[in-house]
Structure 1
Amino acid sequence: MMDDKALAQLINRYLSEDLSREEAERLLDSLSRGDAREQWEAALAALLQNREAHGLSDPARMQAAFRSITQRKPARMIRLWHAAAAAVLFIGLTAGAAFLLNGRQAKSPVTAADNKPLHNVTPGGNKAVLTLADGSQITLDSAGNGAIASQGNMQVIKLNSGQLAYNAGNGAKDSRMISYNTLATPRGGQFQIILPDGTKVWLNAASSLRYPTTFAGKERKVKLSGEAYFEVAKMDGKPFSVDVDDMQIQVLGTHFNVMAYRDEASIRTTLLEGAVRIRHGAGQTSLHPGQQAQLKTSGEMKVFDDVDVEETVAWKNGYFQFNRASLAGVMRQISRWYDADIAFEGNLPEREFGGKIARNSSIDEVLKVLELSNVHFRIEGKKITVLP
């Protein structure tokens, strides 16, 4: 068994990316051994108190950060590692162990008043507005379950699971009665829908999907802005297509994710299962599972192999997940999900983040983790200001 000093040195080397992959794996393996628990507690507690390394400028901030670690339940534990910000990886090490650091509280307790939020930034949830063909709108998060609208022979139903679904009356579909609905989520919202053909769609925050209430003709078309994950119902001879600006994604039956926010540098289409064909202008490309097409605002399209599909669909599964993400990219996701305005002040250090955190975490929990990488924040109302 290594002594505390030797283990602390190894952790420090890991934080500064000075370990090989094999050494890092062996180091993390020690987390699962009961006989290493006390060593980890001692070493990690010492690292957390290192203000120079972790940007903890005063004891109160250190106590708050330590408290957030020691009191977090395993189901909500943060698992973060990090390519440039050492303290974010520190949280990942504690989470990877699947244990709580008991008995090492700071000497000065943090009172309940200290933890009381001084803002109104909260995690998002199931929120959406359905706009019917006649222009009338239904706020779905406050609508009761069951039938909520009828359009021609099509009935709109809110299921007990919170999903939106369509049911054709009398088992028939009147192709003469095609109308279009739009499902839109606000910032801080998400929603699931089962389209009339059985296709399942998960809509992320600040997104919208326009679709017909019945798919007549030889193809199925929808229009997307923002981000959505699709599980397309297979219908031979009747392809399904998603229009995003002037780009079209065409499939027969497959699982894929489209991220097309206007404030991102590219439209990213990631294929998880099946095959898709992407058309843009006069060009087109096909994707295989594990590939991602990125269409830049300049019109250039590139295909990347072996992408991290788990990271791509983490939002659908209730997580933020980052892999060498920039601070600006992290804050854009926080802005959408927590419905917060983001501002930057001063000369901020270059940072790349990696890791995973539950989307139902409070904004205070999220920012405490980021603050450990020597980036600071001020929250006023619904505005988050990023400070050096």
Structure 2
Amino acid sequence: MEENQESFKYADLMFKCLREQATPAEQQELQAWLDADVRHQELFAAFKDPDTLREAIAFQDQLDVTADWEAVLARATPVAKRSPITWRSVASWAAAAALLGGMVIVYKWQTPTTNDPHIIADNSHTFKNDVLPGSNNATLQLGNGKTVTLGDKPSGTIREADGTAIDQQTGELVYNKTDNGNAATLFNTLSTARAGQYQLTLEDGTKVWLNAASSLKFPVHFTGKERRVELTGEGYFEVAANTTRPFKVMVQGMEVLVLGTHFNIGAYGNAVKTTLVSGAVKIQLPDKRSWQLSPGQQANVQQNQVNIAFADTEKAIAWKEGIFFFKDDDFKGIMEQVARWYDVEIEYNGPLPVKRISGNISRQAHLSQVLEMLNFVSGANFTINGKKVMVTMLK
């Protein structure tokens, strides 16, 4: 009971500070509590949402905390069956148990029993746990086979065997152009795992964004009459123009030829989708058949069959902008995206939703928030257990 009263105490302090009713001593006490744990800071940030705050304060004024406390504890305990949560019940619960805007100090009772930093307590729903989104992380394999682990924070310059300086910036590698025309060609490979993404600037100025579970093999310095790289997974390219040295992307035996343009290639599974944003590209199959795309067109290649049509370029590159963008998408395809970005395993219990789904949500959202959105638009129900997500359709 003492812990529960402490939860309400700090919820009440937050409301007082936001209402500018806290004494200097109370402000100091709240600041000490915020400094003690980053989760406290996240909770307080959620309290600052103006619309939610106004509603929560209104309901707080009507609460009988003593009479309602046991009910609050019951609602803060995970249950097997989920039930809808209205803004009214969220606000009431927030005022009594420090839950507001999708945050609750429920981790005191249900801290996940795992060392995986991506698995956290579910602070807003009734899942067994929640999962954090992917982030800037990758590995770089150098020409000598040595690998370097890359994160979001820069950690100095990497040196290749030929002396090339590779600068580490926030979520990005930048290769410096040097005069090594007589040196042997070195190849590097940048790879992202599931729940990872990274950016790369090649020595010619071409920029590449790699999505999760992807890799790009490329020369440290381009020599000869062309610039050739090899892609697996998905990448977005902004190619530096050079009319005398065309840029080529090899993907699943197919070639994408470009002089200078912006385009996206998605090559998960058996299909290769090349979407042209600007400029011009030509795709060529191993049998030498080729097609040239115009801006806004997408070439879908599968089992040597090619379909070219105009596509939504905003949707094709939404991942690069940090957004899940669904537009008349099938449910299973959406869940494959979710699985890659959150590094989770999807299991299906019964038939899948047949409804085509449209909507968008930030890729920085927690897994629970994405699943809530998908539940709303598809009717599917989800459970999270560690990194396993079970999907069930109610009959």
- The normalised TM-score by structure 1 is 0.70
One-letter identity of the residue aligned with 2:174: A
Separation in 1, partners of 2:373, 2:232? 31
Separation in 2, partners of 1:139, 1:274? 34
Q: Which residue of 1 aligns with 2:307?
A: 302
**Residues 151-174 of structure 1: per-residue CA shift (max 9 Å, x gap):** 303111102x33101114xx4123
Q: Which runs of 5+ in 2 are unaligned?
A: 1-79, 98-103, 107-121
Report the more deviating stretch, 124-133 or 113-122.
113-122
Separation in 1, partners of 2:235, 2:189? 14
1:239-250 pair list within 5 angstroms: 239-250=246-257
How many residue pairs end up in the alignment?
Answer: 287
Larger Rg: 2
Contact 1:231 1:255 in 2 (8 A): yes
**Of 166, 171, 187, which residue of structure 2 is paired with 1:162?**
171
Separation in 1, partners of 2:175, 2:228? 16
1:347-358 pair list within 5 angstroms: 347-358=351-362
Q: Provide closer, same or farther for how the CA distance between residues 366 and 143 of structure 1 changes in structure 2, counting only shifts above 3 A.
A: closer
**Of 158, 161, 168, which residue of structure 2 is paired with 1:151?**
161
One-letter identity of the residue aligned with 1:282: K
**Of 261, 268, 276, which residue of structure 1 is paired with 2:273?**
268
One-letter identity of the residue aligned with 1:115: N
Q: Which residue of 2 aligns with 1:360?
A: 364
Q: Which residue of 2 aligns with 1:131?
A: 141
Q: Provide closer, same or farther for how the CA distance between residues 106 and 191 of structure 1 changes in structure 2, counting only shifts above 3 A.
A: closer
Please tell me whether residue 109 in structure 1 is matched to residue 93 in structure 2.
Answer: yes
Please tell me whether residue 312 in structure 1 is matched to residue 323 in structure 2.
Answer: no
Higher RCO by CA contacts (8 Å cutoff, separation 6 or greater) = 1
Contact 1:153 1:174 in 2 (8 A): no
Separation in 2, partners of 1:206, 1:321? 18
Deviation, structure 1 residue 231 = 0.1
One-letter identity of the residue aligned with 1:133: G
**Residues 155-211 of structure 1: per-residue CA shift (max 9 Å, x gap):** 11102x33101114xx41234321100000000000000011110000000000000
Separation in 1, partners of 2:191, 2:197? 9
**Residues 28-51 of structure 1: per-residue CA shift (max 9 Å, x gap):** xxxxxxxxxxxxxxxxxxxxxxxx
Separation in 1, partners of 2:308, 2:154? 43
SS of the equivalent of 1:320 reads strand
Q: Identical aligned pairs, as a percentage?
A: 41
Deviation, structure 1 residue 105 = 4.4
1:163-182 pair list within 5 angstroms: 163-168=172-177, 171-182=178-189
SS of the equivalent of 1:218 reads coil
Deviation, structure 1 residue 148 = 1.9
**Residues 280-310 of structure 1: per-residue CA shift (max 9 Å, x gap):** 02310000100000001x21001002x1100
One-letter identity of the residue aligned with 1:223: E
- The normalised TM-score by structure 2 is 0.69
One-letter identity of the residue aligned with 1:337: W
Report the more deviating stretch, 250-259 or 134-143.
134-143
Q: Which residue of 1 aligns with 2:382?
A: 377
